[in-house]
Amino acid sequence: MTARRILLVEDEPTIGAAVSDRLTAHGHEVVRAWDGPGAVAAFEEHEPDLVVLDVMLPGFDGHEVCRRIQAVRPVPVLMLTARDDEADVLVGLAVGADDYLTKPFRMRELVARVAALLRRVDRAAELAAAPEPVRTWGDLRLDVGARRVWIAQDEIHLTPTEFDLLVCLAAAPGDVLSRERLLAEVWGWAEASGTRTVDSHVKGLRAKIGADRIRTVHGVGYALDVEANR
């Protein structure tokens, strides 16, 4: 695996040191920040490839940090939440986090999630280097290489995760993809608890491109609705 620069934002010394040691042991360069303002400053100074971000922070919280750094430059963000609170997770995903882990978590799990997010960055770079032709379904237009989406003449701004989800659904228009399959393809991991993550991001995607463009097949998954996109 290529060494990457990871910004770790965590105010709890024990957890911070443990995470930092583990990521360093996997060959990554770790830059640390301990509060909201420090995280934003470190992001701008060090230009990390990925951010591991605690939600509860002094100054302002991880959600605000995520909102601010995503406005500077899209970057994969793994949120660390103190409790398995659905509202907390939904806010995190809404401000641009790609994935989340609930404390306490196993270090092995953290390393796996980080690796999965970094693989997505590589895949996006590969697609951008060898652009595919622009694909269209009715008024929905998708430029996979440039990672841009339009509805008629209006460009739609998707988060990196929403974009990857749309690409995945668009690869097989009309086919129903299970939540587990989407989780494996977009997030790079497969665990039953992660299907809620898929639902949240599909909700975000629908809010931007129109709810009827993605069909829900209850108990199974989602499909790009070919009829609605005609």
112 binds Ca ion, rule: CB under 5 A: no
CB of 87 to Ca ion, least distance (A): 17
Is 88 a binding residue for Ca ion by CB under 5 A? The answer is no
- Please provide the DSSP assignment of the chain as one string: ----EEEEE---HHHHHHHHHHHHHTT-EEEEE-SHHHHHHHHHHH--SEEEEESS-SSS-HHHHHHHHHHHS---EEEEESS--HHHHHHHHHTT--EEEESS--HHHHHHHHHHHHHHHHHHHHHHHSPPPPEEETTEEEETTTTEEEETTEEE---HHHHHHHHHHHTSTT--EEHHHHIIIIIS---GGGHHHHHHHHHHHHHHH-GGGEEEETTTEEEE-TTTT-
Asked if residue 11 binds Ca ion (CB under 5 A), the reply is yes
Min separation Cβ 62 and Ca ion, Å: 8
Q: In the complex with Ca ion, which residue's Cβ is closer, 19 or 50?
A: 19
Q: Which stretch binds Ca ion (CB under 5 A): 49-57, 158-166, 169-177, 210-218?
A: 49-57
**Is 15 one of the binding residues for Ca ion (CB under 5 A)?**
no
35 binds Ca ion (CB under 5 A): no
For Ca ion, which is the closer residue by CB, 52 or 144? 52
- Judged by CB under 5 A, the stretch of 40-48, 51-59, 161-169, 218-226 that binds Ca ion is 51-59
Binding site for Ca ion (CB under 5 A): 11, 54, 56
